[in-house]
Structure formats: C-alpha cells, structure tokens
Structure 1
Amino acid sequence: MHTLITGGAGFIGSHLAEYLISQGDDVTVLDNLSTGRLANLRQLSRDPRLGFVEGDVRDTELVESLVAQADRVFHLAAAVGVHVILDDPLGSLRTNLHGTENVLASANRHETRVLLASTSEIYGKNTADRLHENSDRILGSPLLSRWTYAAAKGIDEAFAHAYWRKHDLQVSIVRLFNTVGPRQTGRYGMVVPRLVRQALNDEPLTVYGDGEQTRCFSYVGDVVPALVAVEEHPDSAGRAFNLGGAQEISIKALAEQIIDVTGSRSIIEHIPYDQAYGEGYEDMRRRVPDNTAANELVGFVPKTSVRRIIELVAQAMLRDQTDRAGGLGSTPEGAGATAEVTHRTLAAEGSAS
C-alpha cells in the first residue's frame, strides 16, 4: 500500500506516518514546513519506505503527481492553531479551501481513497452535553477571523461530501477534538504543550479567561489507529466521525493537574482573552464529543487519561531537551528549561492511563 499524507511532518501526521510504516505501508509525506518540522520525522529518516516532498497543497500540479502514485490519501494539511488563523486569515482560508479541493479533485480523477481530517471547531459555540455528528453548528460573525477556520473546515467537509454524492469518491471525514501528545508545540496556541512547557520551566501557567471553559483531550496514540480504521472501513465513505477524549476537564483544572504531575513551582496566572488574542476574540465554554458513531464503526474507545497525557508530553519534552543538549539537533518547545528541570522526576511517572 502506498499512502500519501499531506501535512505529514506535523504533529499528528508524523505519528500517522510512523504507524502506517509499522503496518507495512510505503508513505510519502507532503508538507510545506510552515508549522510541520522535519525533526518530527527523524525516527523514520533512514527508513526507505518514507519519502518526503516539500511543497504546498495549493500547488495543483504537485498534488496531482503525488496523488497519481498513491493508493490512498490522508489529508491533514491545513493552516492550524489560533495564532496562525488570527495572524493570517486570508492565507489560512486559501490553504484550507483551495488545498482541500486540489486533493479531492486529484483523488477523484485517479479514483484514490481519501480521509479528510476535520475538527471539532466546526461545531462553533454549540455547548450541548454531547456533540454528535449531526449537531448544529453555531458560529460567530464571519467578519471575526476567529471563525474563519471553522467556516473553512465546514466547507471542506461539504466539498468532500459533494464529491462522494456526485462522483462516488471514497472519502471519509474525521472530526478531531483537541488531540494531544509528544511533538505538539504550544507555539500556535495549543494549550497542553504550552502549559507543560511553562510548568517545566517553573514559569506562571497562563490560563486565558476564568479557566472554567472545558475540553476533552484525546491522546494521539489513541487517535491515529482510529484514523486508519475509519479510512479502511467500507461503510465510512460519505460520513463524518467524531474522535475525541472521554474526560471533560476545565482549563484551570488542567493547569492544576500539570503542576501536580510535573512537581512544578509554578503558579496559575489568568490572562484576559483580549490580551492573549486581541480584541473581539470569542471562545467556547464547553466542547464534549459523542464518540458513538466511531465506536460502533471501528470500536473506537479513548483509553488514555488526561493525567497520563500530561506525563507523556512532559517526558517527551524532557527527552527532547536532553537530546538537544547532546547535540542531536532537535528544537523542542521546552528548549529553555533549566538543567535542574531536565533531571526532574515526574511526580506520577508511569501511572496507568
């Protein structure tokens, strides 16, 4: 099986590449390295089954040539992260819309299967107890760049569904809820790695707003096999599936747990949204997935607890810093951590997930 992963040098994409190669696939990664990093693929750098192409999903000819060689495509390439979206809404729209249509059009011409990675962001401000795949989308004003990502990903899904209906393109959709794990950075607004890095440096943990907003975090090691299982299932085409964590937690409680797990001397500092993101930013008070559809289709059950996710992210950051100190050339999010922190033993290291 030859698999193309767009955005494969990113956090999720690199874990997916490793998993697919371990299953016997040949994998080609297409990434423009705007948010992805070659360092994410370093464990595969000597594997002949991995090919890397630096390029953009908006490049029609390049996408066409790569899709023509693939048996299936995992389309993960997108402008991601709150800061990326807010700083360049026009570029984000072009990447997320034109890039996705390029992939779908090429896949249709070559009858290539596709899995489209979408997001829980499409539900917007819907705070229902459990968001299922047919839940209403409640978005803010399209003039607020906060909502451009949600709007674009919703249109991406509409494109995919239209290709399935009109051309019988075998395309399935997954909506990811706050996927977390090693290699994810807080550079673009991802909360867990940002807070873990701050804790490892004994810096104040910056919690935006009152911290009572809640999320469900899912571990990348639980999500990646489910991505593949959904793509491979014959009944997944033309449908969308939530993939999210099972444990709802407030951001304030998350910060407290991070301090506890890392043994940090940090305090929690509340930052107003307008100071963090600029005037007019809107957040969601609650976002909880209903994973029933994915469970019924492929048996998806999120197994990794929030505490275990924190441990794994912190351990990875400390390992990366040790590698950097040894000259292996990685550039982890926690690069500023002190030598004392590098040798810190996590308070709950090795606890069950």
Structure 2
Amino acid sequence: MRTLVTGGAGFIGSHLTEHLLRAGDEVVVLDDLSTGREANLDAMSDHPGLRLVVGSVCDREIVDRCVRGVDRVFHAAASVGVLKILEKPLQSLRTNVHGTEIVLQAALEHGVPILITSTSEVYGKNSRIGLREDDDRVLGSPLKSRWSYAEAKAVAESMTHGYTTEHGLTAVIVRLFNTVGPRQAGQYGMVVPRFVEQALAGRPLTVYGDGHQIRCFCHVLDVVPAMVALLEDERAHGDVFNLGGTEQVSIGGLAERVIAVTGSTSDIVHLSYEQAYGEGFEDMRRRVPDSTKALERVGFRPRRDLDDVIAAVAAHSKQRREVEHA
C-alpha cells in the first residue's frame, strides 16, 4: 500500500505516518513545515518507505504529483492552534478551504479514497453533553477569527460531502476532539503541552478564564488507528465520525492533574481571555463528544486515560529539553 499523508510532519500526521510505516505502507509526506517539523519524523527518517515532500497543499501541481501513484490519502494538513488562527486568519482560511479542495480534486482525478481530518470546532458553542455528528452548530460572528476557523473546517466538510455525493469520491470525515500526545507543541495555544512545559520549568500554570470550561482529551495513539480503520472500512465511506475521549475535566482541574503527574511545585494563576488572546475572544463552556458511531463501526474505544496522556507529553518534553541542552 502506498499512502499520502498531507501535514505528515505535524503532530497528528507524524504519528499517523509512523503507524502506517510500521504496518508496511510506503508513505509520502507532504508538509510545508509551517507548524510541522522534520524532527517529528526523526524516528522514521531512515525508513526506506518514507519520502518527505516540502510543499503546500495550496500548490495544485505539487499535490497532483504527490497523489499520482498512491493508493489512498489522509488529509491532515491544516492551520491549527488558537494563537496561529488569531494571528493569521486569512492564511488559515486559505489552507483549510482552498487547500482541502485541491487535495479533494486530486483524489477524485486519480481515483483514490481520502480521509479528511476535521475538528470539534465545527460544533461551535453547542455545549450539549455528548455531541453527536448530526447535532447543530452554534457559532459566533464570522468576523471573529475563532469562528472563521470553525466555518472553514465546516466548508471543507461540505466540499467533501459534495465531492462524495456529486462525483462519487470515496471519502471519510473524522472530527477530532482535543487529540493530544508527544510532539504536540504548546506555542500555538494547545493547553496540555503548554501546562506540561510550564510545570516542568517550575513556572506558574496559566489558566485562561475561570477554569471551569469542560473538555475531553484523547491520546493520539488511540485516535490514529481509528482513522486508518475508518478509511479501510467501506461501510464508513461517505460518513462523518467523532473521535474523542470520554473523561470530562475542567481546565482548572487539568492544571491540577498536570502538577500532580509531573510532581511540579508550580502554582496556578488565572488570566482573562482578553489578556491571553485580545479583546472579543469567545470560548466554549463545554465540549464533550459522543463517539458511539466510531465505536460501532470500527470498535474505537480510548485505552489511555488523562494521566497517561499527561505522562506521555511530559516524557517527550523532558527528552526534547535534554536534547536541546546537550
């Protein structure tokens, strides 16, 4: 099997690439290295089945060249992270909408199945406990960058659905809920690696807002096999699936768990959203998935709990710090 992974040098993409190589695939990675890092592929750099192409999913010629000759595509390239989206909303829109359409068109032209990675952000401010795939989207103003990201990912889903229903493209959409693990960077606003890095450095853990926001986190090593299984299951084609954890935790509670797991002596401090992100930022009070569809279709069931996730992120962060200071 020959597979293309767009964004394959990123956090999720690199774990997916590693999983596929171990399964015997040849893997072509397309990544512009804007948020991905070649270092994320270090463990696989000598693998004869790996080929890295540095380029953008917005480059039609490069995408066509990468898709030609592969048997399937996992589209994981995207502008991600609250800080990056707030700083460069137009670039994020172009990557998440235009880039996705280019990849979809190439997959259609070359007759290969594709999995599109979407996000729980498409649900917006819907705080229902146990969000299902057909639940309503509740969004704020399109002039707020936070919601423009959600709009872009929803448009990408709609385009995928259109390519499937109108042109017969074989495609699956997955909506990821706070996927975390080793290699995830904290500088783009990802809360678990940010807390872990602060804890290991003995700095205060900065909780934005009142800390009562509820989230569910899921280890990347639980998510990746489900992504592969869904694309390989013909019964999943043309459908959308939530992939997320089941353990609800407040952000304040998460900070306490990070301190406990890492053995840190750090304090916890609070910053307002305005201090963290600027005026007008909006957040969700609760984001809890219902992943029953993925369970019933491919047996998706997270095996690692929140403490496992924190410990894995901490171990990776310690290892990276040792290498940087060696």
Correspondence 1:113 to 2:108: no
For 2:206, the equivalent position in structure 1 comes to 206
Correspondence 1:39 to 2:39: yes
| Mapped partners of 1:321, 1:145: distance in 2 | 33
For 1:136, the equivalent position in structure 2 comes to 136
| Mapped partners of 2:199, 2:325: distance in 1 | 20
| Mapped partners of 1:279, 1:323: distance in 2 | 38
3-state SS in 2 of match to 1:288: strand
| Mapped partners of 1:161, 1:145: distance in 2 | 24
| Mapped partners of 1:322, 1:275: distance in 2 | 32
3-state SS in 2 of match to 1:230: helix
For 2:302, the equivalent position in structure 1 comes to 302
Superposition deviation, residue 325 in structure 1: 3.1
The amino acid of 2:168's aligned partner reads D
For 1:75, the equivalent position in structure 2 comes to 75
**Which region of structure 1 is more displaced relative to structure 2, 302-311 or 240-249?**
302-311
| Mapped partners of 1:109, 1:173: distance in 2 | 19
3-state SS in 1 of match to 2:236: coil
| Mapped partners of 1:217, 1:310: distance in 2 | 10
User: What do the CA deviations read for 1:178-231 (whole angstroms, capped 9, x no partner)?
Assistant: 000000011100000000000001100000000000100000010000010011
TM-score of the two chains, using structure 1 as the length reference: 0.92
Superposition deviation, residue 321 in structure 1: 1.8
Superposition deviation, residue 322 in structure 1: 2.0
Q: Which residues in structure 2 correspond to 1:217-236 (within 5 Å)?
A: 217-236=217-236
For 2:126, the equivalent position in structure 1 comes to 126
Any runs of at least 4 consecutive aligned residues in structure 1 with deviations exceeding 4 A, and if so which? none
Superposition deviation, residue 323 in structure 1: 2.6
In the alignment of these two chains, the number of paired residues is 326
3-state SS in 1 of match to 2:212: coil
| Mapped partners of 1:320, 1:290: distance in 2 | 34
Superposition deviation, residue 263 in structure 1: 1.0
Q: Which residues in structure 2 correspond to 1:281-292 (within 5 Å)?
A: 281-292=281-292
TM-score of the two chains, using structure 2 as the length reference: 0.99
For 1:146, the equivalent position in structure 2 comes to 146
3-state SS in 2 of match to 1:115: strand
3-state SS in 1 of match to 2:241: strand
Superposition deviation, residue 168 in structure 1: 1.2
For 1:91, the equivalent position in structure 2 comes to 91
Q: Which residues in structure 2 correspond to 1:1-353 (within 5 Å)?
A: 1-326=1-326
For 1:330, the equivalent position in structure 2 comes to none
Superposition deviation, residue 289 in structure 1: 0.3
Superposition deviation, residue 324 in structure 1: 2.8
CA RMSD of aligned residues (A): 0.6
3-state SS in 1 of match to 2:237: coil
Superposition deviation, residue 23 in structure 1: 0.3
| Mapped partners of 1:84, 1:206: distance in 2 | 18
The amino acid of 1:303's aligned partner reads R
| Mapped partners of 2:75, 2:140: distance in 1 | 26
| Mapped partners of 2:160, 2:232: distance in 1 | 17
| Mapped partners of 1:90, 1:318: distance in 2 | 35
Superposition deviation, residue 319 in structure 1: 1.5
3-state SS in 1 of match to 2:289: coil
**Which region of structure 1 is more displaced relative to structure 2, 173-182 or 309-318?**
309-318
| Mapped partners of 1:57, 1:141: distance in 2 | 28
| Mapped partners of 1:321, 1:81: distance in 2 | 22
Structure 2: give runs of 5+ residues left out of the alignment: none
3-state SS in 2 of match to 1:9: coil
Superposition deviation, residue 320 in structure 1: 1.7
Q: Alignment identity in percent?
A: 57
| Mapped partners of 1:188, 1:17: distance in 2 | 22
Superposition deviation, residue 300 in structure 1: 0.2
For 1:347, the equivalent position in structure 2 comes to none
3-state SS in 1 of match to 2:135: coil
The amino acid of 1:294's aligned partner reads A
| Mapped partners of 1:199, 1:247: distance in 2 | 22
3-state SS in 2 of match to 1:300: coil
3-state SS in 2 of match to 1:21: helix
The amino acid of 1:292's aligned partner reads T
**Which region of structure 1 is more displaced relative to structure 2, 63-72 or 111-120?**
63-72
| Mapped partners of 2:279, 2:132: distance in 1 | 31
Structure 1: give runs of 5+ residues left out of the alignment: 327-353
